[in-house]
Structure 1
Amino acid sequence: MQFQENIRPYGASAVAERSVLRNVYIWMTLGLGITGAVALYVAGNPQLIRTIIMNRGLFFGIIIAQLALVFLLSARVHAMSPTAATLAFAGYSVLNGVTLSTIFLVYTAASISQAFFVAAATFGVLSFYAVTTKRDLGGLGQYLFAGLIGLIIASVVNMFLGSSSFEYAISFFGVFLFMGLTAYDTQIIKNWSRQLGSSADEADYMRVSIMGALKLYLDFINLFLFLLRFMGNRR
């Protein structure tokens, strides 16, 4: 089943919408829990984290594997079995936990906790707004996409410039960009749930839930990371 990112109203069952959104939030929370547990485990194992950081081939291999899983889910989730989609999402959560473990070497634990709770509160408010508002947020899509491309380009440029003030500006912009994406993606998921007709089976609901969870998971993680860069205290 293919899903459209068109956010025009569909006359679909409110029960289906609530069911999908509930499952999306459950799977997203499970994914974040897996990521957090793995990150804490790796960060608490000096030998393991040293091996990952010092072995550049391994580190970049993990990043490439993460990207591959995201592209796989984004492009093929409609053709995957629910089990395969779930395993791909769980695998991505594990790998992301490995790479995120490095933030414990850069930022204080207090800063990480503060950024996490601010991100959680912000995410919750924006996602709730997107679920309850009658406003169509579809018009934001092209601007958010353009902003995302600009953010990527600016981040790559600053890898060579190494400007702390430019990094601060990028982080500030990134926070607001992923705030917008959180609301936008939540409404996209609402739209997906409305496309599930009477012919949809449990597998279709599961695929929508996993893909929606991945979208919101990525929004939350990026919101958290940009908040951490913006307000975090380095060791």
Structure 2
Amino acid sequence: MADKWNAGLRSVPVAGSRTDASIDQGLRSYMLKVYNLMAIGLLITGVAAYGVFNLATTTDPSLAAGQFRDVMLTQLGVAVFVSPLKWVLMLAPLALVMFMSFRIDRMSVSAAQATFWTYAALVGVSLSTIFLVYTQESIVQVFFITAASFGALSLFGYTTRRDLSGMGSFLVMGLFGIIIAMLVNIFLQSSALGFAISVIGVLVFAGLTAYDTQRIKEMYWEGDDTLVAGRKAIMGALSLYLNFINMFTFLLSIFGNRN
């Protein structure tokens, strides 16, 4: 999956080389960079999603080129939401994140960062459909619920002394189970199964948030050069970004008010 580290990024920490996290300025700066990169990615996604929605919809019948439910669509809206292009836009982020995961050890920091920004924008284009389905008020409410939950879980993963690596394999298996169930439900169209997938998805990505935060923290090594440290920070930000986005979409399917 996208949150797996490429082996070329791994560094073996030297015993006794770390200081306590509370006084280790290097670790704090590294984690702050990870969170800042993730936050910028989320901002790009949000701007892209809302921008595409505004450009793709209209209230002027003379500008309408199609319709989705009760929403009039512009030419862009028809292309993004109705035409076969929508499948390309849905699959493009997956292809890009897989490319990034496999090539990160051969990319410069600037190239990896640009790829991350591009990926975040493509995710935003895909997520623009949520404005057609859910009210803007509920989207904002669920976003803040997700942000508060994510912050608490990430803080737990950062501060806990408990080793969370044991639950990593369990969470990955749960993730694959969710993907399989979602594919099956495309054909079944079961609302009960969809609800169960959303609940389990929230739990899985909540666990992954804490697990990935601890893993990202432990990947830090003060002996890394600027290139390796930069790659690690970007991949760490990508992992947390994916957890946030997935937790948000699952929570939205549970608590979002539909138009």
Question: Same fold judged by TM-score > 0.5?
Answer: yes
1:2 CA displacement: 2.3
Unaligned residue ranges in structure 2 (runs of 5+): 1-6, 58-73
Which residue pairs with 1:55 in the alignment? 83
SS at match of 2:162: coil
- Partner SS for 1:12: coil
Structure 1 regions of 5+ residues with no counterpart? none
Task: Read off the aligned partner of 1:223 and give its amino acid letter.
Answer: M
Q: After alignment, is 11-20 or 139-148 more displaced?
A: 11-20
2:31·2:217 contact (CA, 8 Å) conserved in 1?
yes
**Structure 1 218/6 Cα, relative in aligned 2: closer, same or farther at 3 Å?**
farther
Asked whether 1:12 is paired with 2:36, we answer no
Q: 1:133 corresponds to which residue? A: 160
Larger RCO: 1 or 2 (CA < 8 Å, sep 6+):
1
CA RMSD of aligned residues (A): 1.9
1:218 correspondence with 2:245: no
Instruction: Percent identity, please.
Output: 46
Contact preservation (8 Å) 2:181, 2:197? yes
Q: Higher helix proportion, which one?
A: 1
Distance 1:5 1:140 in 2: 22
Contact preservation (8 Å) 1:5, 1:188: no
Shift in Å, 1:19? 1.7
Rounded to whole Å, the distance in 2 between the matches of 1:108 and 1:201 is 46
Structure 1 segments, 4+ long, off by >6 Å, are: none
The answer on whether the counterparts of 1:35 and 1:97 sit within 8 Å (CA) in structure 2 is yes
Moved more, 80-89 or 69-78: 69-78
Write the deviation string for residues 78-107 of structure 1: whole angstroms up to 9, x where unpaired.
Answer: 221011101100000110110000000001
Taking structure 1 as the reference length, what is the TM-score of the superposition? 0.92
CA–CA distance in structure 1, aligned partners of residues 235 and 16 of structure 2: 19
Query: What's the secondary structure of 2:8's corresponding residue?
Result: coil
Q: 2:91 aligns with which of 41, 46, 64?
A: 64
| Letter of the structure 1 residue corresponding to residue 39 of structure 2 | T
Q: 2:150–2:244: 8 Å Cα contact kept in structure 1?
A: yes
Corresponding residue number in structure 1 for 2:39: 29
CA distance in 2, matches of 1:136, 1:214: 22
* Counterpart residue type for residue 18 of structure 2: A
- Residue 5 (structure 1) shift: 10
Q: Distance in 2 between matches of 1:44 and 1:119?
A: 24
For residue 74 of structure 1, report the CA deviation from its aligned partner: 1.4
Q: Equivalent residue for 1:232?
A: 256
> Secondary structure at 1:211's aligned position in 2?
helix
Are 2:230 and 1:206 aligned?
yes
Larger radius of gyration: 2
Summarize the alignment of residues 177-192 of structure 1 with structure 2, pairs less than 5 Å apart.
Answer: 177-192=204-219
Superposition deviation, residue 64 in structure 1:
2.7
Task: Give the number of aligned pairs.
Answer: 230
Superposition deviation, residue 157 in structure 1: 1.0
Q: What is the SS of the residue equivalent to 1:2?
A: helix
Which residue type is aligned with residue 150 of structure 2?
F
